[in-house]
Structure 1
Amino acid sequence: LGRITQGTVVLVWALASVDVDWSVAKVLLVPVMVVSGAVIFCAVFVAGAAFQIFAQDASEVQNAFTYGGTTLLQYPPTVFGKDFVRGVTFVLPLAFVNWVPASYVLGRPYPLDLPQWAAFAPPLVAVACGALAGLAWRAGLGSYRSTGS
């Protein structure tokens, strides 16, 4: 509850402080961005957990994507190389958590010259990530072997 409250306070303060030409689309995009981002990150955690069933002792690999992704999204995409930004946009779509929609809200260009409608794609990306994570989880459960104790 503390992280949610802290995040909400910082988001409200930041949105009030920044000079944005607000439109209905931008106002609606902010909560959609937050919810979609949460779903994308939940999908990454579930897929990582499914990977753990196969790998058994590779939690640091999962942590690289989960906690590493959290740290990654604290910086603007312009500080990273284009190939890396392509990877977190098209391969592991963490860019849709905040980079792509926030670029639209703030009126800034995204480094990969994505079309403007991409800012509204996070819900679709979240559904796709959730579906893939669900498939990974089912595959993991299907291969689970207990010690029998």
Structure 2
Amino acid sequence: MYHGTSNTLDVYGVTQKTVDFRDGNGFLFEQPAVKEVAPGQYETNDILIDPSKAYDYFNTLSNISEAGIRGTSFVKLREIAVGYPVYQNSKIKVDLNAFARNIILWSELKGFDPEVSQGNTNMSGAFERFSLPGTSSYGLGVNVKF
């Protein structure tokens, strides 16, 4: 999935990653990379990028669509519910119950739920930009049967 939100947030410097990249003595290109040391000879990249160039770095990455591709595999605890009978006689039965929905999500898209991202139905789940984060809900209930 193209995760456009993360690219845009990085360009504007509002993610923790961009803060970390602007701090310190420099940073390396995030993906595995090599540098050419002689014609046809390559070594692992160890060239530090100056922290003052962080904006240029993220701006350049945002113009490369492949830099925003993320996996959409996820594991989610969708719902958990518990009920307990508190009173029962021949005419009335009272139960208490509690539930929680969407409380745990493990995903490569940090802070975003691949299920609710824009485009999941009309674009086969291949595009996300500025989608709303998933919500969690909790509740308590009383069931009275007579």
TM-score (norm 1): 0.27
Q: Whose helix fraction is larger, Structure 1's or Structure 2's?
A: 1
Report the structure, 1 or 2, having the larger strand content. Answer: 2
- Greater RCO between the two (CA within 8 Å, min separation 6)? 1
